[in-house]
Amino acid sequence: MDKKEEEKLLREAEKVLPRAYAPYSNYRVAAAISTEDGKIFTGVNVENASYGLTICAERAALFAAVSAGYRSFSHLVILSDGNGTVPYPCGACRQVLMEFSPDLGITVTRDKDRLIRISLRELLPYAFG
């Protein structure tokens, strides 16, 4: 992952983080995903009183990109507001991301000082496919 591209994705995720809707968990998450040609799409978590209807930031960003016609992605950044855990993608997000980009690089952070870089294949070694 190019450091400049990663920094740009971090900035874009940071811009949308305040838009997260998390009245139940108070755990705000934002994501920015880049297409193979450098287009960036963002998303935030949107909770619901019926918790199973909540959508994660990663899928929100991916679905926005897919809705715009993109199917292949190079990198994903996930940023939380720092209240607790590092925002690794949940199992559902991992499987959905795998559908489109098995070689996706992922950066996660909760405080922007400590970036954790990992591949989607490392997070989901036995994906459905």
- Tens digits of residue pLDDT in 6-28: 999 999 999 999 999 999 999 99
Tell whether 128 is covered by a domain. Answer: no
Return the active site residues: 58
Tell me the mean pLDDT in the region 1-5.
Answer: 85
**Length, in residues, of the chain:** 129
> What pLDDT is recorded for position 67?
98
Q: Is the pLDDT of residue 112 over 80?
A: no
How confident is the model at residue 113, as a pLDDT? 77
115 lies in which domain range?
Answer: 3-123
Q: Is residue 55 part of a domain?
A: yes
> CA separation (Å) from 95 to 71, 92, 125?
15, 5, 10
State residue 87 phi and psi, 5-degree precision: -85, 65
User: Is residue 30 in a domain?
Assistant: yes
Grouping H, G, I as helix, E, B as strand and the rest as coil, residue 46 is strand
> What is the C-alpha to C-alpha distance for residues 107 and 103, in angstroms, rounded to an integer?
13
- Residue 129, in any domain of the structure: no
Per-residue pLDDT reduced to its tens digit, 26-80? 999 999 999 999 999 999 999 999 999 999 999 999 999 999 999 999 999 999 9
The total number of structural domains that make up the chain? 1
Q: Mean pLDDT of all residues in the chain? A: 95
Q: Is residue 17 part of a domain?
A: yes
Provide the CATH number for the domain around residue 117.
3.40.140.10
